[in-house]
Amino acid sequence: MIVVGVDGSAAARAAVEWAADDALRMRVPLRIVHAVDRSPYQIGKFPTADWPDALLRQGHRVLADAAAVARDRQPEIDVTTRVLEGPPALVLREQADMADDASGPADEVVIGTRGHGGFAGALLGSVSAHVAGQARSPVVVVRAEPHPVRGRIVVGVDDSPECEPALAYAFRQASLRGSELRALHAWQLPVHAFAPEIAYDMDEVRQAQYRLVRDRVEAMEKEYPQVNVVEEVQSAHPVDALGAASEEADLVVVGSHGRGTLGSVLLGSVSRGVLHHAHCAVAVVRGR
C-alpha cells in the first residue's frame, strides 16, 4: 500500500499524482490521508463548539478532491480515504507504519512540500523532516513545481549500511519506470589529508572509491539485469553532487538512519541537505 498525505495545496495534488502513478506501477492500493489537528483552536478564551464540524467538513472536501485527482490520473487503482485526528506528522507516520496489519509498513509514503498548512511547509515542512526521519517506509517528498520527465533516477552510494536499502529501492523504481539509474558517490579528503607531511596516492584513492561503487551496485545488478546503470564518482560534497544531479533526474534516493524519537533531528546532514536543495522529488529510505 502507498500512503499519501493531503491538505488541499498544490503540493498535495502533486503528491497524489506521484502516488497514483507509483500505485499503478507497484500494483498496490492507494490510501489518501488528511489530518485534522484541533490543537491550534483549543484556546480557552475562544469558543470551539463550531470548529470540529467545520474542520471535519473541510477534511472530507480535501479528501474527495484528492481522490478524484487520483482516479482521474490512474482509473485502475484502488483508492481509499481517511480523515484522522491528530498532528499531521504523527498521523502520517502512524499510517505509514501500520498501513496493513497483514503485511506491515506501507510500501511508500508520499508528501508534498511548498504548500500551505497541514503536511507542507514554506521550504521543507517540519512534517516532511519528521516523517522522513522516523517512518519505517520509504518517504518520497514531492515538489509542487512542475518537473519535466527525464527518465533518470539518481541514488547516493557510500559505504554505510543505510546505502543498501536505498539502492534496493532505487533499482526497483528504475525497473518499474524503465529509467536509467545513476549511482553517484561523492567523497572529500579529510582535512588532515592536506597536510604536506602526509603523502597520498590520489590514483589509489580514486580507485578505492570506484571499487566501493562497483561492489555496492554489482549485487543489485544481478536482481535487476534490465536496469541500465551509470556509475559515477565525484570529488565533491555529497549534498552538492546530488543536488546538481537532481536537475536532470526524476527522483533522487538517499539512505537514512532515522533513529528513535529524534529521527527528524538525526535524519543526517546529507539526507536533510538533499531534501532542502534537490530540484526534483527525493526519496529517503531507511532500513527496516
Parent domain of 88: 2-143
Q: Is there a single domain that holds both residue 72 and residue 135?
A: yes
- Exposed (0-12), middle (13-18) or buried (19+): which is 75, by Cβ within 10 Å? exposed
User: What is the model's pLDDT at position 288?
Assistant: 57
State whether 248 and 278 are in the same domain. Answer: yes
Over 50: is that where the pLDDT of 263 sits? Answer: no
- State how far the Cα of 20 lies from the Cα of 99, in Å rounded to an integer: 16
**What stretch of H or E contains 282?**
strand 281-285
128 shares a domain with 83: yes
Do residues 28 and 118 share a domain?
yes
pLDDT tens figures, 118-137: 343 333 456 777 787 778 88
* Same-domain status, 185 and 251: yes
The pLDDT assigned to 175 comes to 97
Q: Considering its fold, how many domains does the chain have in total?
A: 2
Does residue 169 share a domain with residue 54? no
Q: Around 128, how many Cα atoms within 13 Å sit in the side-chain half-sphere?
A: 32
Domain shared by 50 and 117, yes or no: yes
pLDDT score of 272 more than 80? yes
Other C-beta atoms closer than 10 Å to the C-beta of 47 total 8
What does pLDDT average to over the chain? 81
Together in a domain, 134 and 170: no
Boundary residue ending a domain (94, 118, 143)? 143
Kindly tell me if the per-residue pLDDT of 140 is higher than 90.
Answer: yes
Residue 95 or 169, more confident: 169
pLDDT of the residue at 100 = 60
pLDDT range class, residue 277, cuts 50, 70, 90: confident
Q: How far apart are CA 272 and CA 166, in angstroms?
A: 15
Predicted local confidence at residue 17, as pLDDT: 97
**Positive or negative CA dihedral for 88, 90, 96, 102?**
negative
Report the pLDDT value the prediction gives residue 99, as an integer from 0 to 100: 63
CATH code of 238's domain: 3.40.50.620
Beta bridge partners of 81: 32
Residues 197-214 have pLDDT tens digits of 555 566 666 677 778 778
What is the pLDDT averaged over residues 206-232?
A: 86
pLDDT for the residue numbered 52: 61
d(CA 140, CA 35): 18
Pair (7, 139) in one structural domain: yes
Cell of 12: 498535495
CB atoms under 10 Å from CB of 56, counted, come to: 14
- Cβ neighbours of 189 (radius 10 Å): 11
Is residue 139 located within the same domain as residue 175? no
Report residue 106 as a C-alpha cell. Answer: 506501507
Choosing from 143, 162, 181, the residue where a domain stops is 143
Strands (E) located in the chain: 2-5, 30-36, 79-85, 108-113, 139-143, 152-156, 180-187, 229-235, 251-255, 281-285
Domain final residue pick, 122, 143, 164: 143
CA atoms within 13 A on the CB side of 86: 12
Higher per-residue pLDDT: 68 or 218: 68
The most distant pair of C-alpha atoms in the chain lies apart, rounded to whole Å, by: 74
Are residues 138 and 160 part of one domain? Answer: no
**What is the distance between the alpha carbons of residues 214 and 206, in angstroms, rounded to a whole number?**
12
Q: 188 and 217: one domain? A: yes
